[in-house]
Chain A
């Protein structure tokens, strides 16, 4: 079965450079979530999209932006990179549970993650 695809899997950038991470959700999933996981830390929610519209915003720095495109894939754009941005970035997707009216009862599928290293 198709899973959440993230690219690139590894990325090395210099300070102050920009980076773009891509996420392709599971087919027919309408919600996408981005998480950042620092070394030895819990995943921190960054931002989410439902039906191509931003649905919620977490601890995402102003230097970061994201969007979801018509084909439901999402991109996380990071500018003016700092050393502290080095982390694993996970994308997750799910299908909004229309019967319950909530997304959180459904399965949440994570991608393999993109490891960003800022030098």
Chain B
């Protein structure tokens, strides 16, 4: 089983500053990595797929990078509406076992 580990658990960032979130896979997943945003009381929203492709309607301040076992989600200039929990998910193996990371909570400093 591929284990996804996210860090840090909580990230405090000042408005307008950069936020960098990390996700590590226990074995290579190529670029089969997605990022989701979840706000309180809401369903998750797909932000990034294929490690670096923004989903439809996602602002350009969100970017993803990485391959293999190390991945990064960057929010270039944090806005108040970006406060949420962010999850990574691998979708590399077959048959599918769509493991999620434990999440990173982003808050305004």
Instruction: Say whether A and B bind each other.
Output: no
Question: Footprint of B on A, CB under 8 Å?
Answer: none
